Amino acid sequence: MKPLCGEGSRAGGFRALQGLPMQKINRNAVLALLSLASLVFLLFQLCYYKFYLSQKNGATFSKVRGSQSGQDSTRWHVVRKFLGLISSHNIPVYLIDPLILGLVDKDIEQIRSSPDGPSPECKYFCASRDFTTFALLDKTWKHEVGLFRTAEKMGFQWLKIINKDPRLDGMDDLSGMEIPLHYIFKLASHAIHLVVFYERSGNYLWHGPLRLKQHMDRKFVPFRKLHFGRYPGAYEKPELLHVFIDDLKVQIPKNPSSFLEEMSHSRFLECRYREARAFLQLYPDDASLDAVEFRIKAKSLLHLAALTLNNLGVKFWLSSGTCLGWYRQCNIIPHSKDVDLGIFIRDYKAEIIPAFQKAGLPLKHKFGKVEDSLELSFQGEEDVKLDVFFFYEEEDHIWNGGTQAKSGKKFKYFFPKFTLCWTEFVELKVHVPCETLQYVEANYGPDWKVPMKVWDWKSSPSNVQDNGVWPVDEWDDVIQIY
């Protein structure tokens, strides 16, 4: 289009010489000016783009097709250099990059079977991406500063993100040195994201959120594109595997697909210790012997229940009073007298009851049926009871049912939709609803912050509704008391 218009303007210029000179000249001038302007703009655009690129050098990873192959090998080279750096300091890292692990997972059989075969092409580490993510177990290295000196000598720029140590965040007012949570090593147009994992009570690994302090360079890398760090995360300790991929020796999780699955819902919530401390200021903890003993019993019951359900592969979460205890005071509520768990009905397995019985927790009662309002109750040590509520998902809400044994009355407890997050509770890694506040408020109303010693499960909850009566002929089935 452009050349044609150029001709047009020249033609206009010719016409302008023939008649009405002033007007024509004006028009000509205008046209010339315009074309000049467009030319200038064109140039400017070019320059600006060039400038924009150089300014973001490495930060905006160019997606220009032409330089694809160069980019590919850059990534590989950066990863190779990084692995060299790490191994020269004897720091064991393992690959957790979801993009690469996704690719690796497709060929996992082949990679496992030929652990050191040379690869014909750069298949994994050259794949298009902005970062390569590795994990580091904190306890496996000594925080030597030497690593960073060497990194700088190799041409890496690096960024360290530190924050407070959540393991000291309990009820005691401790403040330690801040701990490193993330490192980013940048070289040329590629960056390595090194996520530091910490072992925590409850036999799991934790990584922190990535939060930039005020003075930090916000353009160091496009932080939003990172795969780790938006939220803290909780993971099982992975089994690792040494493999050769793209001629590089790396460690990867033995089962990449299950790692990726785990990653997709790894979000971790820290207990609200500060609020819990404030709560305890207002309502001092019950330090009586009864309370102490109930807590010991409830904790061991919860540990046993978690072990049993985890062995079955049944996903569960802290519900009702136990969830409130976690959210409000980071502890078991001493006057709650039972432990409450929630399970989605889709995760129901017939083996649940025998498994609990085998673990030494006899069934105390069973209300409802799998299709409707199922609720199980097991007898723990002495008078501590384990209640398992099954939750039914609907279009816009989730509910669980209750049954009054003597009348056969049914109740329905409504909850807004929620997803599950990990947390740590009494040295256990367990699920809680991510949207805990809504969950607790649905159950206990806006005054959940005020302890209530008297609680009637049929009338006290703010989300309860009558749900009719079980037909008498079904009673034997839906009301079983042992």
Partner 1 sequence: MEEWKPNPAVKPHKKRSWYLAWKYKLMNQRALRKLCQTGAVLFLLVTVIVNIKLILDTRRAAYEEEEESAQDYDDEMLNVEVPRHPVNNKKVLDVEVYSSRSKVYVAVDGTTVLEDEAREQGRGIHVIVLNQATGHVMAKRVFDTYSPHEDEAMVLFLNMVARGRILIFTIKDEGSFHLKDTAKSVLKSLGSQVAPFLSWRDMWTFVGKKGGEVYGEKHAKSPALSTWGDPVLLKTEVHLTSVEDAECHWPDTELNRRRKRFCSKVEGYGSVCSCKDPTPIEFNPDPLKDNKVFDVPVAVIAGNRPNYLYRMLRSLLSAQGVNPQMITVFIDGYYEEPMDVVELFGLSGIQHTPISIKNARVSQHYKASLTATFSLFPEAKFAVVLEEDLDISVDFFSFLSQSIHLLEEDESLYCISAWNDQGYEHTAEDPSLLYRVETMPGLGWVLRKSLYKDELEPKWPTPEKLWDWDMWMRMPEQRKGRECIIPDISRSYHFGIVGLNMNGYFHEAYFKKHKFNTVPNVQLKNVESLRKDAYETEIHRLLGEAEVLDHSKNPCEDSFVPDTEGKVYVMFIRMEQEADFTTWTQLAKCLHIWDLDVRGNHKGLWRLFRKKNHFLVVGVPASPYSSKKPSSVTPIYMEPPAKEEGAVAVPAVAAAEQT
Residues near partner 1, by CB under 8 A: 1, 4-5, 7-9, 11-12, 15, 27, 30-31, 34-35, 37-38, 41-42, 44-45, 48, 52, 139, 142, 145-146, 163, 165, 167-168, 170, 172-177, 199-203, 209-216, 218-219, 222-224, 229-230, 287, 292, 295-296, 427
Nearer to partner 1, 168 or 312 (CB): 168
> Could you tell me how far CA 167 lies from the centroid of its own chain?
18
To partner 1, the closest distance from the beta carbon of 265 in angstroms equals 19
Phi, psi of 191 (to 5 degrees): -135, 150
Question: How near is the Cβ of 180 to partner 1 at its closest, in Å?
Answer: 12
Nearest to 307 by CA among 427, 174, 456: 427
Taking the C-alpha atoms of 420, 254, 425 and 462 in order, what is their torsion angle to the nearest 10 degrees? 10
DSSP, collapsed to helix, strand or coil, labels residue 423 as strand
CB 251 within 8 A of CB 94: yes
Least distance in angstroms from the C-beta of 70 to partner 1: 24
Question: Of 43 and 370, which CB lies nearer to partner 1 in the complex structure?
Answer: 43
- Report how far residue 225's alpha carbon sits from residue 131's, in angstroms, rounded to the nearest whole number: 8
CA 345 distance to own-chain centroid: 24
Q: Among residues 4 and 22, whose Cβ is nearest to partner 1?
A: 4
* The pair of three-digit structure tokens given for residue 261, joined into one six-digit string: 């699955």
Taking the least distance from each CB to partner 1, the nearer of 262 and 285 is 285
Residue number with CB closer to partner 1 (42 or 469): 42
> Which tokens is 39 given?
């030319």
Minimum gap (Å) between residue 361 Cβ and partner 1: 19
In the complex, least distance from residue 300 CB atom to partner 1, rounded to whole angstroms: 8
Secondary structure (3-state) at 84:
helix
**Closest CB 118 distance from partner 1, rounded Å:** 38
Q: Which is nearer to partner 1, 28 or 320 (CB)?
A: 28
Q: How many residues does the chain have?
A: 482
Q: Quick one: which of 196, 260, 259 has its CA closest to 232?
A: 196
In the complex with partner 1, the residue whose CB is nearer, 44 or 283, is: 44
Distances, alpha carbon 28 to alpha carbons 9, 12, 36, 40, 48, in Å: 8, 7, 12, 18, 29
In order of 2, 21, 28, 143, 245, the CA distances from 25 in angstroms are 22, 6, 5, 75, 70
Q: Give the CA dihedral 394, 233, 199, 134, nearest 10 degrees.
A: 140
Nearer Cβ to partner 1, position 43 or 469? 43
Q: How far is the CB of 266 from partner 1 (least distance, A)?
A: 17
* Identity of the residue, 215 or 406, whose beta carbon is nearer to partner 1 in the bound complex: 215
Token pair recorded at residue 57 = 């050098």
Cα distances (angstroms) measured from residue 406 to each of 181, 244, 403, 475: 55, 66, 9, 10
**What's the rounded Cα separation, in Å, for the pair 297 and 276?**
22
User: Among residues 331, 130, 340, 104, which one has the least CA distance to residue 227?
Assistant: 130
Least CB distance to partner 1 at residue 172 (A): 4
Residue 367 near residue 357 (C-beta atoms within 8 A): no
> Closest separation between CB of residue 227 and partner 1, Å?
13
Shortest Cβ distance from residue 138 to partner 1 (Å)? 10
Structure tokens at 88: 């020269």
Q: Smallest Cα–Cα separation from 58: which of 156, 142, 151, 140?
A: 156
Cβ of residue 171: shortest distance to partner 1, in angstroms? 8
Nearer to partner 1 among residue 65 and residue 213 (C-beta): 213
In the bound state with partner 1, the residue whose beta carbon lies nearer, of 45 and 460, is 45
Question: Minimal distance in Å, beta carbon 395 to partner 1?
Answer: 30
Tokens, residue 474? 């079904």
